[in-house]
Structure 1
Amino acid sequence: MSGVCAAMGRIAAASWLALAALTAAGILFGADTVVINLVMATFFAAIAGLLAWRQRVVGKLGREFPGHPLVRSLLRSELATMGLAVAIGILLVCAAGYRVFFERLPVFG
């Protein structure tokens, strides 16, 4: 289960990092909204960093104590949490991608 949690954590972090990149790229389409888009891109990148850090810490815990019942319970809850983070991240990436690539507008503004 630790390997699945690690993969979900990486996918979640990558989706939020892609959201940060799309938000920053949207600046090209609206010079008057640079500040809010840079602030939000930084915020999304920070979420990606926290998700990656969390995945690394939980993965290390799972490798150190693979058979402990509390760790198994933690890994199950981590799997549910990362699944939710992946779903929200991908949904927001799709919405931001539509806004930037099809509407040719910044994500915020």
Structure 2
Amino acid sequence: MDILDTDLENIEQGDHCASSGRKSHHSDKTKKNLVTRLNRIEGQIRGIKGLIEKDTYCDDVITQISATQAALNSVAKLLLEGHMKTCIVERIQEGDHEVVDELLVTIQKLMKK
């Protein structure tokens, strides 16, 4: 089981979005994991800035940018999967089928990147 599978299991075990208040309810463990990942990404961004300031070879900088994008995509994937398995399912069960259009817009935003 990889990290994403573990995180999705945590989401499925109680992390869900409140459909009325449009607020997510992630477990403390999931929030800590997401913040840890984002802190790591923030460090990668600072590292890329430092590489540019040091006139590092362009290909090396691009490689670091690619790694950072992959890490950010991993966070987005985790959130999207959890959102679909909880928030979207709940809202459909409540009869709110407009949530599918919202989901499609969200997926389109992610695919532009």
Shorter-chain TM range is 0.3 to 0.5
Give the TM-score normalised by the residue count of structure 1.
Answer: 0.43
Q: Which has the higher strand share?
A: 2
Q: Which has the higher helix share?
A: 1
Higher relative contact order (CA 8 A, sep 6+): 1
